[in-house]
A and B are shown apart, each in its own frame.
Chain A
């Protein structure tokens, strides 16, 4: 009964992983055909400024998108209040960007971010701020893209955090209320510690997801955009190396670097969690 799926996974996933690992040690000619070059790709990679910049950008996105997690925790706690009405409606609304096609999202934000007639700058002008061309200005582009990343991930994180809150015993809140704890004190002393396994899970998922960011950069940075070097992620570089510049050997090496970075950062998170995650 596992044969059909097992075969499919073996042909399209497991064997390709081994092949990609092998490709990382090869160089591809312009007419197909590849040649074993040993560690040449990895040596080239270490000296390649483009790779390091892309890696730095990916890590910067990850840090910026993680800033959205505390906000999602607060919102989850607000929505968890017993006397609050319209919980389902709020949750649905916040979830909309999660299900919207990234191509459509990028198009929409490009319009909102436009330097001249974009709504964002027109709103800023009302308070006397002269906003830049957010997406094409290399100084602001990465923040503009990360903000969309937060906007798209928010509802997703919120839903997982709200599910985690279901497991926090109500008696804790009742007992602390009798002891005179206000909502802020309850949030700090009960919600956050009791929710810490879920917060940890959401952080791990966000890091893994954001390190693989591709869509927004591809969609919002036309080739030759002055802001491309400041926003290019490692997966975008992987894509353009493998499929645009037709250099899949080097692309495979980049993919493995990404894999190692993800594994390392996830391992680091699992190390740090011992200090702050409380399992009941």
Chain B
């Protein structure tokens, strides 16, 4: 019995060391954000700021249009998420429940998009935005990301797992496909819809390459591109940089904290990455 207790104690020790390696950098980031510049580069380092200096949080608004970029990011992530919930769930319902000619062929095409690396469509996507005159606009950030093969696949798997009897009964009562979709399957699929919504929000919020390509005007950048530009120009103002990156990250961390069960289940079930 003693060896079992020791094994458990050793497990806790290993897990705690791992947790420290993960949390440590974040703690250092938070501490640095409230240090003065001199304290942030001191050798040997000071752990606690003396005195606490909150000016980094104001300074970061001077060196980048953080408020504006925050709004851009919310619009991009929100727009993509709402659109994906609608478009993907409609298509997923059709693939899961309806018989139509070419169903397997179309589903095969979806899987092609799912499996191909994004570099294979990003140049033409950029050219479409350019031709529409959409460079440096909000819609450039949103539109291509409104459609997702991954989201359709995730929701289709969810719909397929629901008992068929429910919507067959509704069909006997004279419900058409749209009613079965709206009244039966969607309400039963809340966990799947939430998983897709949070995953889309997360990946959109953190997305870097696409925003970099389409929006080069700082006023139209997202937070991820804005921070990237900032670290190039002000790569020594650590307190301000840490304050900015904490503020940019906080919203998704909060959403994740609230909905982590759905996020983790969504990832565990699908290995989901858009």
- Determine which of A4, A92, A209 lies in contact with B273 in the assembled complex, contact meaning CB atoms within 8 Å: A209
**Between-chain CB contacts (< 8 Å), 17 pairs:** A1-B98, A11-B128, A12-B147, A14-B112, A16-B123, A17-B121, A81-B8, A91-B264, A100-B253, A101-B248, A103-B228, A160-B271, A163-B269, A215-B208, A218-B208, A238-B119, A255-B120
Q: Establish whether residues A101 and B25, one from each chain, have CB atoms under 8 Å apart when the complex forms.
A: no
Q: Establish whether residues B116 and A99, one from each chain, have CB atoms under 8 Å apart when the complex forms.
A: no
A151 neighbours in B (Cβ, 8 Å): 21-22
* Closest chain B residue, CB of each to CB of A262: B117
- Determine which of A90, A101, A182, A222 lies in contact with B206 in the assembled complex, contact meaning CB atoms within 8 Å: A101
B269 neighbours in A (Cβ, 8 Å): 163
Q: Establish whether residues A13 and B208, one from each chain, have CB atoms under 8 Å apart when the complex forms.
A: no
Most interface-central of A92, A101, A262 (chain B CB within 10 A): A101
- Determine which of A99, A103, A252, A254 lies in contact with B253 in the assembled complex, contact meaning CB atoms within 8 Å: A99
B29 neighbours in A (Cβ, 8 Å): 104, 108, 111
Q: Establish whether residues A17 and B120, one from each chain, have CB atoms under 8 Å apart when the complex forms.
A: yes
**Complex CA distance for A17 and B91, rounded to whole angstroms:** 21
User: Is the CB of A75 closer than 8 A to any CB of chain B?
Assistant: yes
Q: Establish whether residues A239 and B209, one from each chain, have CB atoms under 8 Å apart when the complex forms.
A: yes
Q: Establish whether residues A122 and B44, one from each chain, have CB atoms under 8 Å apart when the complex forms.
A: yes
Interface string of B91-116 (1 = CB under 8 A from A): 10111001000000010011011001
Q: Establish whether residues B123 and A248, one from each chain, have CB atoms under 8 Å apart when the complex forms.
A: yes
Q: Establish whether residues A9 and B208, one from each chain, have CB atoms under 8 Å apart when the complex forms.
A: no
A243 neighbours in B (Cβ, 8 Å): 126, 212-213
Most interface-central of A8, A95, A106, A162 (chain B CB within 10 A): A8
Interface string of B20-48 (1 = CB under 8 A from A): 01110110110010000000111111000
User: Is the CB of B14 closer than 8 A to any CB of chain A?
Assistant: yes
A109 neighbours in B (Cβ, 8 Å): 25
Describe B's contact surface by its main secondary structure. helix
**Complex CA distance for A231 and B143, rounded to whole angstroms:** 32
User: Is the CB of A38 closer than 8 A to any CB of chain B?
Assistant: no
With A13-B113, A102-B208, A116-B43 as contacts: A6 and B224 at CB distance below 8 Å: no
B118 neighbours in A (Cβ, 8 Å): 212
**Complex CA distance for A90 and B263, rounded to whole angstroms:** 16
Q: Which 6 A-B pairs have the closest CB atoms?
A: A8-B147, A163-B268, A104-B245, A16-B124, A16-B121, A103-B227
With A23-B123, A94-B22, A119-B28 as contacts: A160 and B267 at CB distance below 8 Å: yes
The segment out of B49-57, B165-173, B187-195, B231-239 that lies at the interface is: B231-239
- Determine which of A9, A16, A183 lies in contact with B120 in the assembled complex, contact meaning CB atoms within 8 Å: A16
User: Is the CB of B202 closer than 8 A to any CB of chain A?
Assistant: yes
- Determine which of A74, A202, A218 lies in contact with B228 in the assembled complex, contact meaning CB atoms within 8 Å: A218
With A116-B43, A163-B269, A214-B208 as contacts: A5 and B120 at CB distance below 8 Å: no
User: Is the CB of A78 closer than 8 A to any CB of chain B?
Assistant: yes
User: Is the CB of A264 closer than 8 A to any CB of chain B?
Assistant: no
- Determine which of B43, B93, B117, B206 lies in contact with A212 in the assembled complex, contact meaning CB atoms within 8 Å: B117
Chain A nearest CB from B97 CB (Å) reads 10
Describe A's contact surface by its main secondary structure. helix
Most interface-central of B123, B178, B209 (chain A CB within 10 A): B123
Q: Establish whether residues B268 and A8, one from each chain, have CB atoms under 8 Å apart when the complex forms.
A: no
Q: Establish whether residues B110 and A9, one from each chain, have CB atoms under 8 Å apart when the complex forms.
A: yes
B223 neighbours in A (Cβ, 8 Å): 101, 103
Q: Establish whether residues A2 and B44, one from each chain, have CB atoms under 8 Å apart when the complex forms.
A: no
User: Is the CB of B75 closer than 8 A to any CB of chain A?
Assistant: no
- Determine which of B21, B41, B98, B256 lies in contact with A99 in the assembled complex, contact meaning CB atoms within 8 Å: B256
User: Is the CB of A259 closer than 8 A to any CB of chain B?
Assistant: yes
Interface string of A239-276 (1 = CB under 8 A from B): 10011000010011011101100100000000000000
User: Is the CB of B7 closer than 8 A to any CB of chain A?
Assistant: yes
Q: Establish whether residues B248 and A103, one from each chain, have CB atoms under 8 Å apart when the complex forms.
A: yes
A255 neighbours in B (Cβ, 8 Å): 117, 119-120, 123
Q: Establish whether residues A1 and B206, one from each chain, have CB atoms under 8 Å apart when the complex forms.
A: no
User: Is the CB of A192 closer than 8 A to any CB of chain B?
Assistant: no
**Complex CA distance for A135 and B235, rounded to whole angstroms:** 13
Most interface-central of A5, A110, A219 (chain B CB within 10 A): A5
B205 neighbours in A (Cβ, 8 Å): 101
Q: Establish whether residues B90 and A1, one from each chain, have CB atoms under 8 Å apart when the complex forms.
A: yes
Q: Establish whether residues B98 and A14, one from each chain, have CB atoms under 8 Å apart when the complex forms.
A: no
* Closest chain B residue, CB of each to CB of A96: B22
With A9-B110, A103-B228 as contacts: A258 and B18 at CB distance below 8 Å: no
B109 neighbours in A (Cβ, 8 Å): 9, 14
Q: Establish whether residues A1 and B91, one from each chain, have CB atoms under 8 Å apart when the complex forms.
A: yes
B18 neighbours in A (Cβ, 8 Å): 75, 90, 94
B235 neighbours in A (Cβ, 8 Å): 110, 222
User: Is the CB of A133 closer than 8 A to any CB of chain B?
Assistant: no
* Closest chain A residue, CB of each to CB of B246: A104
**Complex CA distance for A182 and B177, rounded to whole angstroms:** 56
